[in-house]
Structure 1
Amino acid sequence: MDKVINRWAGGTSYGPVLSQTDLYLLNTELELNPLLKGEVPDALMQFHLVTGFPTNSRTQDNGVHGRDQPATLPRVSQLIIISKYSPWCTIVKKDTGVTIGDICSIIYRDYNENDITDVEFNSLNPRGQEQLRRSSAVNTGNREPQNPNSPWGYYTPHQAPERLRRLDWLRERVYLEGISRDDNYARARLGFRAPNVFIMDLTS
């Protein structure tokens, strides 16, 4: 009997990988992996952007379920990911096709390794600036807990560090539960819609 292969299985031998140019010329609509849409009840994504781990795993790798599966079908070499809660675009690129793991790791790096600039900080009103500092203190406490065996536990509040990361802009919405399409928002935000533009689904 022939073995039935999951169409979302990881690998590089499942049809062509469309470049962004190919995608736009063909005007191809992308089918999003069900894991990224929250349609697999026993494998719901909740990737913690502070620690870089899903809430149900703290293994040496990121432990994201289905991390080697393609993010879309057909597979594409580039996704543009934006958020309704921050002003930045995250570009996820991979010549062999963007995977679920790529999305999690690139968003994590983008929001943790890039600082908020003085211009961006000064665009906030005083209340927003104070909320940003408080978010930074909370995130630092979760990232560097006093008790390494209790990373989700209580920590003693302390002064917010001088460094403010993009992550802190999200305030309490630091759990990535997937991505989704919102063409109206993409057009309002970017001035255009495209099949490879997606919105982060974030929760607290």
Structure 2
Amino acid sequence: MSISKWAVGSAYGPVLTSTELYLLQAADGCKGLELNPILNHSLKSFHLVFNLANGGYDNADPDKDLAFTQGDQPATIPRVSELYVIAKISPWVATVTASQPKRGVTLGDVINCVWSTYGENTITEAEWSSLGVREQERVKRASVNNQINSNPSMGWNGGYPFSPSTMDAKNFRRSDWLRDKIFFDGIEIDDEYAVKRLGFKAPNVFVMSFCG
């Protein structure tokens, strides 16, 4: 697979809005979006893993310590102004908007959006109440583990400020909801799930996969 067409630059076609994309698909002018191979792991030389609990990057191949420097590459071809990322293990939709409209959604936009959606937002009281007691306890344990892993000095012997039994919804981020599935491992098309979840399918709706 050639990676040259994913190089950063301006020599691309127009950036399509969601409406334009749907119209093109309806007219059979666009069969779908081609994902950047870094997002679906068809690029064998680099496997991106992103920690939604602490914002850290990791190349999943332990023998190759490669930095993520491809953030300005387009996320799709054709380029689009928005992508929507859902997940089978969470109730939220990450709406990815191009940070530079003339450039379209980039890899960096995707990563920044899923981080903002899961790493920077807390679980609401209503969302917390929707969980059963057993699921709440699992989220509590995940929150403690995520915070200790992000700052080992906050471990039990280091004076961790509270125990799981004293925690309530205001203590939890959305990444804690994911429990041990906190590593973003790419996105993929799953029209069947999109219809089940949203009631419709669209070329720019993707399902997030995880590893943990």
| TM-score in terms of structure 1 length | 0.86
List runs of 5+ in structure 1 lacking aligned partners.
Answer: 58-62, 148-154
For residue 48 of structure 2, what is the aligned residue in structure 1? Answer: 45
- Give the number of the structure whose residues are more often helix, by fraction: 2
For residue 183 of structure 1, what is the aligned residue in structure 2? Answer: 191
Contact 1:45 1:65 (C-alpha < 8 Å) held by counterparts: no
**One-letter amino acid of the counterpart of residue 70, structure 2:** G
- Deviation at residue 5 of structure 1 after TM alignment: 8.4
**One-letter amino acid of the counterpart of residue 53, structure 1:** G
For residue 79 of structure 1, what is the aligned residue in structure 2? Answer: 83
For residue 23 of structure 1, what is the aligned residue in structure 2? Answer: 21
For residue 97 of structure 1, what is the aligned residue in structure 2? Answer: 104
What is the RMSD of the two structures over their aligned residues, measured on CA atoms?
2.0
Where 1:17 maps in the other structure, the secondary structure is coil
Cα deviation digits, residues 180-199 of structure 1 (max 9, x gap) = 00000000000000000001
Aligned residues: 189
| TM-score in terms of structure 2 length | 0.83
Aligned with 2:143 (options 136, 144, 169): 136
Cα deviation digits, residues 11-67 of structure 1 (max 9, x gap) = 23311110111111111310111111111222001111122121249xxxxx52421
**One-letter amino acid of the counterpart of residue 40, structure 1:** L
CA distance in 2, matches of 1:19, 1:198: 16
Where 1:55 maps in the other structure, the secondary structure is strand
CA distance in 2, matches of 1:23, 1:120: 33
Contact 1:47 1:64 (C-alpha < 8 Å) held by counterparts: no
- Deviation at residue 143 of structure 1 after TM alignment: 2.2
Contact 2:17 2:81 (C-alpha < 8 Å) held by counterparts: yes
List runs of 5+ in structure 2 lacking aligned partners.
Answer: 61-66
Contact 1:48 1:174 (C-alpha < 8 Å) held by counterparts: yes
**One-letter amino acid of the counterpart of residue 108, structure 1:** W
Q: Percent identity?
A: 44
Superposition pairs of residues 184-203 of structure 1, within 5 angstroms: 184-203=192-211
CA distance in 2, matches of 1:91, 1:139: 25
